[in-house]
Amino acid sequence: MRSPRLLVALAVAAAVVSTACGAEVQQPAQATTGTPVTVTNCGAPLTVHGVPERVVTNDTGITEMMFALGLADRLVGHSSYRGKERDIASSPWQADFDRTPLLGHAFTREVVQAADPDFVFAGWSYGFKESTGLTPEWVRSIGAVPYQLTEACRQPGTDRRGVMEPLDALYADLANLGDIFGVRAKADQLITHYRQQVAKAADSAPAGQQPARVFLFDSATPEPFTSGRTAAPSQIIREAGGSNIFDDLNDSWTSASWEAAALRDPQVILIVDYGAGPENSVQAKIEQLRTQPLMAGTTAVRQGNILALPYAALVEGPRNPQTVVTVADFLRSKGY
């Protein structure tokens, strides 16, 4: 860290306001002084010398993790791609988004360097990309610490992402951020609450019944983009009492085929609500499913068992536990 202020006390959350979706919004209060902290991030040790003061984040789920921990005052800016505005409009932390500078809709070296960060929180395909040159190594070269989203950690020797259960990835990131920013007690409180939410939803699944087959539909260009078993939706679906039809894919967010999706005959479809332009609206995606020759005959499409959820509810972030509850309630309403 470059700033001497990193060795002074950090302001963190004290007051907690519960929101309708189970998230918590915090107001700043006094916390502990910063000392060197080492955590494990993507299987490697990461040492942070002092509490970061100038944080840049990319993507809504990542940014909301900082907000959930009461660390909005540490952000000097966040980036969010076009089409994520609906995330912010639906966010339990909308007020924090309103007062945090938006760095634009392109996460680039120039944007990041201009913000003069000492800590950059992003992930592979959540901002970090070799094609743009914005990598953890480059972040280190400008004197900042790169923290990688655990859901997007690359599997050793491959570009496939996901090295642990997705909800465990969320809990790991919350615990790590809690240690780095001196708010571990708050992180532990959130983790306990989230585990309780998930367990209660899981207990609501009917006994002695096969889990509903669920297809996560992100987009199609032209093949469907969906969730493998290491992306958040797969465990969200499982904990809610369903079964992700592409749980056999050892990857995070990835492409499949219409043939494979139709052959597995989903009984329920989850649509990711994001994307710029009318062609990416929820209604447009529903119409795409209805007019896709192979998907039109599936149980989910024929019966209209389709649920749309915000992007930030389905990528790693603090909305995930409540999303388990929402999906569980939807499955129960359909008899699953």
Q: Are residues 59 and 155 in the same domain?
A: yes
Task: Output DSSP code: residue 163.
Answer: S
Q: Are residues 179 and 306 in the same domain?
A: no
Q: Are residues 216 and 169 in the same domain?
A: no
Higher pLDDT, 25 or 54: 54
The domain tally of the chain equals: 2
Does the residue 236 lie in any domain? yes
Task: Pick the closest to residue 60 from 79, 32, 34, 41 (CA basis).
Answer: 79
Average pLDDT score over residue span 212-221: 96
What angle do the packed helices 184-203 and 166-180 form, to 10 degrees? 160
Average pLDDT score over residue span 10-35: 39
Q: Are residues 185 and 212 in the same domain?
A: no
Per residue in 64-102, pLDDT tens? 999 999 999 999 999 999 999 999 999 999 999 999 999
pLDDT band with cut points at 50, 70 and 90 for residue 32: very low
Q: Are residues 254 and 168 in the same domain?
A: no
* 102-122 burial: b if 16+ Cβ within 10 Å, else e: ebbeebeeebbbebebbbbbb
Q: Are residues 164 and 89 in the same domain?
A: yes
Q: Are residues 191 and 238 in the same domain?
A: no
Beta-strand pair 212-217/242-244: parallel
Instruction: Kindly tell me if the per-residue pLDDT of 182 is higher than 60.
Output: yes
Residue 175 burial (CB count, 10 A): 17
Does the residue 306 lie in any domain? yes
Does the residue 313 lie in any domain? yes
Higher pLDDT, 193 or 278: 193
Residue 199 burial (CB count, 10 A): 12
Q: Are residues 180 and 244 in the same domain?
A: no
Average pLDDT score over residue span 151-158: 97
Report how far residue 100's alpha carbon sits from residue 138's, in angstroms, rounded to the nearest whole number: 24
Q: Are residues 323 and 231 in the same domain?
A: yes
Does the residue 64 lie in any domain? yes
Does the residue 224 lie in any domain? yes
CA angle 148, 152, 156 (to 5 degrees): 95
Per residue in 241-280, pLDDT tens? 999 999 999 999 999 999 999 999 999 999 999 998 998 9
pLDDT band with cut points at 50, 70 and 90 for residue 35: confident
Among residues 171, 197, 223, the one where a domain terminates is 197
Neighbouring residues of 130: CB distance < 8 A, sequence distance ≥ 6: none
Q: How far is CA 46 from the centre of its chain?
A: 21
Does the residue 202 lie in any domain? no
Q: Are residues 278 and 180 in the same domain?
A: no
Per residue in 309-336, pLDDT tens? 999 999 999 999 999 999 999 999 999 9
Range of 19-28, 188-197, 275-284 with top mean pLDDT: 188-197
Q: Are residues 190 and 43 in the same domain?
A: yes
Residue 97, pLDDT score:
97
pLDDT band with cut points at 50, 70 and 90 for residue 26: very low
Q: What is the CATH number of the domain that holds 306?
A: 3.40.50.1980
Residue 34, pLDDT score:
57
Q: Is 127 left (phi over 0), alpha (psi -120 to 50) or beta?
A: left
Among residues 139, 173, 197, the one where a domain terminates is 197
Q: Are residues 176 and 231 in the same domain?
A: no
Per residue in 49-69, pLDDT tens? 999 999 999 999 999 999 999
Among residues 139, 167, 197, the one where a domain terminates is 197
The pair of three-digit structure tokens given for residue 70, joined into one six-digit string: 């009461």
Task: Output DSSP code: residue 171.
Answer: H
Q: Which domain holds residue 311?
A: 207-333
Q: Which of 135-139, 212-216, 218-222 has the lowest mean pLDDT?
A: 218-222
Does the residue 100 lie in any domain? yes
Judge whether 31 and 180 are in contact, CB under 8 Å: no
Does the residue 316 lie in any domain? yes
